[in-house]
Chain A
């Protein structure tokens, strides 16, 4: 029947378009696997997962990245002979899944070192240490320490380490409001979408200073029942070669003093604890 000619053609084309990717799949898989470092060295290019949270990681007006983690990463990659760095920006919660899915080769962010994450990824030596702060609107009754957070509606970063921390300390999930970044968090607080903001101090402090919000907000820092945590770059468990090379260069940077210079230029304190901490000692948080 000539009437079916067009229809049959279209259906055949359509099913071909749907099936082809499936046939290609096994070929794409075989390109991944062992020898990540060797492949990166050969292509002189690395893809990294990045968070945008000044001053940990931040954006330049030309679209390139600055901040502690990207700067340290760039120094190390240059020393390894990898010249091109392609950055993919996501929230903290997306960084690990994206790396496991092969979207980027490692996480070049100040990812807080936590026990559950230590089971999923291999960390580098810590590159920053920080404490958390509690921010509330001036004049409002608010929590003074982490143990008191459970009686309030709390805003925090989506997928960040704080998310697990407050749940462990008894804040019910229903009372948590997650936001993609510190700016959105502060705007949320000002719009009274929650009562208390809980998160890493340096980033929030910088925005409050930039916007001149000191007169509107109460910032509690340091929080008495908080402990210092470390943050580091993270690698897939199987990419031991890349991790070892990164560690070697990071330790060289720490020994030469270049590391301290970079980290303090972004307003972070560098103490002996940060310089001597290893993934093993940091993993207790």
Chain B
């Protein structure tokens, strides 16, 4: 028989789960963001043929258990001849799920831009790309970033689900080590701390992103961090250039 092992012996194996967890988090987020944008735009479409499928996808992924979807992708799809690798299964299911939730964030952000802004831009004859990137998004994006940060951290914790389809992330390794040591307490305590630290780091990254977006959108950086009153007082400079407003002529 082999000599008894301690948690210490398994530490390198356990920490090896951090890159896996982060990989799944970011890949799934890379799926979720475009999916959210596509679904949100689809749902706002004036054409029923676009609006309904987008609504259907959102309700499908939001409305059924992510765990069941994951098992379905992993164990059932192969019976139909489609065998996706475990990582792809996990990333797609998590990404589509989170994308469905986030599409509502994107939609709310887009809806929050006063209708008059778009109408004015159209009336001024600004090209579509200019309208999107210079008029709508600078006003909508800063609103979307904080809830997006929430979802990023949710995704980090969400990834523990993929441990159930043989992906060796933090949770998977924790379970395995607990099982091997015959003791769950210490390893799950450590796992919680590691998730907490990762979430703190991601939260910090989101704050950096918030600042970057605010700067891109032409907002006063300090105003973003200031209380609401100050934020209202420091109204954002108009994103529409002076020539487009017809000023100075």
Offer 28 A-B interface pairs, CB within 8 angstroms, sorted by A.
A2-B127, A3-B128, A6-B129, A10-B37, A10-B38, A11-B45, A11-B50, A14-B38, A24-B82, A25-B80, A29-B81, A32-B83, A54-B180, A54-B182, A59-B10, A63-B16, A89-B172, A94-B75, A101-B74, A103-B74, A103-B86, A180-B179, A182-B182, A183-B181, A183-B183, A210-B181, A265-B1, A267-B1
Instruction: Judge whether A139 is part of the interface by a CB distance below 8 angstroms.
Output: no
User: B50's contact among A5, A7, A61, A102, by CB below 8 Å, is which?
Assistant: A7
A181 and B81 form a contact (CB under 8 A): no
Residues of A within 8 A of B83 (CB): 28, 32, 101-103
The closest CB in chain A to the CB of B49 belongs to: A11
B128 and A2 form a contact (CB under 8 A): yes
Interface bin, chain B: 35 or more
A183 and B16 form a contact (CB under 8 A): no
A3, A21, A183 interface centre (most CB from chain B within 10 Å): A183
User: B81's contact among A5, A28, A97, A207, by CB below 8 Å, is which?
Assistant: A28
Instruction: Judge whether A228 is part of the interface by a CB distance below 8 angstroms.
Output: no
Instruction: Judge whether B13 is part of the interface by a CB distance below 8 angstroms.
Output: yes
Instruction: Judge whether B132 is part of the interface by a CB distance below 8 angstroms.
Output: yes
Instruction: Judge whether B142 is part of the interface by a CB distance below 8 angstroms.
Output: no
The closest CB in chain A to the CB of B168 belongs to: A63
- Render B42-85 as a binary contact track against A, CB cut-off 8 A, 1 for contact: 10010000100000000000000000000000111011111110
- Render A102-129 as a binary contact track against B, CB cut-off 8 A, 1 for contact: 1100000000000000000000000000
Q: Quote the shortest CB–CB distance from A113 to chain B (angstroms).
A: 23
Residues of B within 8 A of A267 (CB): 1
B-contacting residues, A27-68, CB 8 Å: 28-29, 32, 52-54, 58-59, 61-63, 66
B9 and A7 form a contact (CB under 8 A): no
Residues of A within 8 A of B37 (CB): 10
A-contacting residues, B143-157, CB 8 Å: none
